[in-house]
Structure 1
Amino acid sequence: MKQVTIRNLHRDLGYFYIGLIISFAFSGILMNHRESWHPEKYTIETKAIEVKLPAEEKINEPFADSLGKALGIDDKIRRHNVKKGTFKISFEKHDVEIDMETGKGEIVSFQKTPIISQMMKLHKNTSNWWIYYSDIFGISLITIAITGAIMIPAGKFTFKRRGWKLAIAGLLFPLLFLFLLG
């Protein structure tokens, strides 16, 4: 490929995907810290409750749904579970946690954070069209990386003289991190 063609391909793919690159990077940072704080939603109200719960084996989705309705929650149930003595129900706009022994708990009402919650869906979306678009985006990022590496034709900062060392360091760092975590 001629130098001008590589540079043009690199530039045009960069321009085309700049919005998606920024959105993915920003929402990726938020996803990395989702256990510390919940960027997707913010709490509107927290209300203490006390209910009488049946034995754990009698807790199922219809029970969770009817309990939600009895507590004044009218949005769609997403999931429920009992773990470590706590009954949890997740609704679209509410979370309920109840201690299995005491029946004491709370209802947390929340709203989706505008823009941020939609951006974070980019990382979670599994619809067919989005998977294909993300695959094309991934291939384009590889193309941007390769064309960026070979764009500089001569001198001491070329990929051949210096760039390959940095590229290997860039590959080794996440691998080393994975081995240390594993």
Structure 2
Amino acid sequence: MSLTHRQIHRDVAYFYVGLILAFSFSGIILNHRQSWYPTEYAYESEEVTLKIPKGELTEEKVRNLVAPFKLEYESHRLRGNNLRVDFTGNSIMELDTKTGEGVLEARRTVPFLGHTIKLHKSTDTAWIWYSDIFGAAMILIAITGMMIPMGKNGFNKRGWKLMLVGLIFPLLFLFIL
């Protein structure tokens, strides 16, 4: 029995429908991460006021600053007057270094959306191989979709025109914008 392009297209697309949806959602979210990034939400929040030490905020100074909170320090980042301290276990503290005022938040990953973003950004070797196979499957889906005979609206009639228009946008963004 030989498989037709329609059967290959259908079966590969069915197999990958979950990953197509997950990557589509997370891709849209990552495109808008500057304004909306729902990987985490705060479920507990506490306003804090700390005495910020003078001079450069070294790791040692930041560790000493947050030590009374009994949380395991992970890292910190200073942008302008905003100090963000990350703790193990998804807790963060954001402080204004001029006033010492800020907030300590315990966070959780947003179900589904936060997890799909983790998949999109994963560097796990097995996941990368699976994603590469998925990429090849998407190429197969695209090619077999073009080869499905569709009568007067098939690839040979108008499909190739739509494909060319669809290629213009990525090429514009890749080479011009």
TM-score range relative to shorter protein: 0.7 to 0.9
Using a 3 Å threshold, how does the CA distance of structure 1 residues 13 and 31 change in structure 2: closer, same or farther? same
With normalisation by structure 1, the TM-score equals 0.83
What secondary structure is seen at the aligned counterpart in 2 of 1:68? helix
What is the aligned length? 175
Question: Which ranges of structure 2 fall in alignment gaps of 5 or more residues?
Answer: none
TM-score (norm 2): 0.85
Deviation of 1:12 (Å): 1.3
The Cα shift of 1:51 comes to 1.3
Deviation at 1:129, TM superposition (A): 0.9
Q: Counterpart of 2:160?
A: 164
Q: For the aligned residues, what is the CA RMSD?
A: 2.3
Structure 1 unpaired stretches of 5+: none
In structure 2, the residue matched to 1:68 is 66
Q: Which moved more, 1:126-135 or 1:18-27?
A: 18-27
Kindly tell me: are residues 151 and 37 of structure 1, through their superposed partners in 2, closer, same or farther at Cα, counting changes over 3 Å? Answer: same
Give the whole-Å Cα distance in 2 for the aligned partners of 1:86 and 1:76. 17
2:77 aligned with 1:81:
yes
Matched, 1:132 2:96: no
Which letter maps to 2:17?
I
- The alignment partner of 1:57 has SS state of coil
1:56–1:82 Cα contact (<8 Å) kept? no
Residue 20 of structure 2 is aligned to residue 24 of structure 1: no
Distance in 1, Cα, partners of 2:106 & 2:41: 9
Q: What is the DSSP-based 3-state SS (H/G/I as helix, E as strand, rest coil) of the residue aligned with 2:35?
A: coil
Q: 1:37 to 1:132 in 2, by over 3 A?
A: same
Aligned counterparts of 2:55 and 2:161: Cα–Cα separation in 1: 58
- On the 8 A contact 1:99/1:105 being kept in 2, the answer is yes
